Amino acid sequence: MVLSEGHLRGTGEEVPQGPPPKSLAKGFETMSRVPSLSSPFLLGFDEIERALERVTKSSDGYPPYNIERVAPAECRPERLRITLAVAGFTRDQLDVTVEENQLVIRGRQNDDKTRQYLHRGIAARQFQRTFVLADGMEVLGADLNNGLLAIDLARPEPGRLVKTISITDHD
């Protein structure tokens, strides 16, 4: 015996099965997402939440990339390295910029109109890949080698900040 929702509620009436009526489903289209940083204990994180939303919306998977931690060397602190697979792009077709705490990598290829293809499996493609940088992150440089674009970032040393706030007495 299969029990319907009505039987479980004790009313004995059958409840229609299937998708909800359009009038009910319509209300869910406008329902807003609860912000992940909406706790009353997290103050001033609005900008971080907007950056997270931008990053999650703008990723299409191309070009593929790796992010690795590079161990400290003799005179170099620990670094991060972002490596993008950009086969077919020349140095002149790539731009690496920092715009408002975002590392932006752009690639632009132009179609060669003089070529006549019998089969074209490698398309001239443009891309833009964006990474949000934490405050203090420094881009050390970029290197293009064998179709891989490596960008090194200096990771800031976390410092402990303790500040004593004076309390005024109004007696």
Is 160 contained in some domain? no
Residues 121-136 as b/e (b if ≥16 CB within 10 A, e otherwise) read eeeeeebebbbbbeee
Domain that holds residue 104: 61-113+123-154
Using DSSP's 3-state secondary structure scheme, residue 9 falls into helix
47: part of which helix (H) or strand (E)? helix 46-57
pLDDT at 31: 45
pLDDT digits (tens, 9 = 90+) for 6-56: 444 455 555 455 555 554 445 444 444 555 667 777 777 777 677 667 666
Is 71 contained in some domain? yes
Distance from C-alpha of 17 to C-alpha of 33, rounded to nearest angstrom = 27
Is 107 contained in some domain? yes
Distance from C-alpha of 58 to C-alpha of 56, rounded to nearest angstrom = 6
Q: Residue 89 belongs to a domain with what CATH number? A: 2.60.40.790
Is 88 contained in some domain? yes
- How confident is residue 80, by pLDDT bands cut at 50, 70 and 90? very high
Is 129 contained in some domain? yes
Is 133 contained in some domain? yes
Asked whether the beta carbons of 73 and 97 are under 8 A apart, the reply is no
Name the domain count of the chain: 1
Is 96 contained in some domain? yes
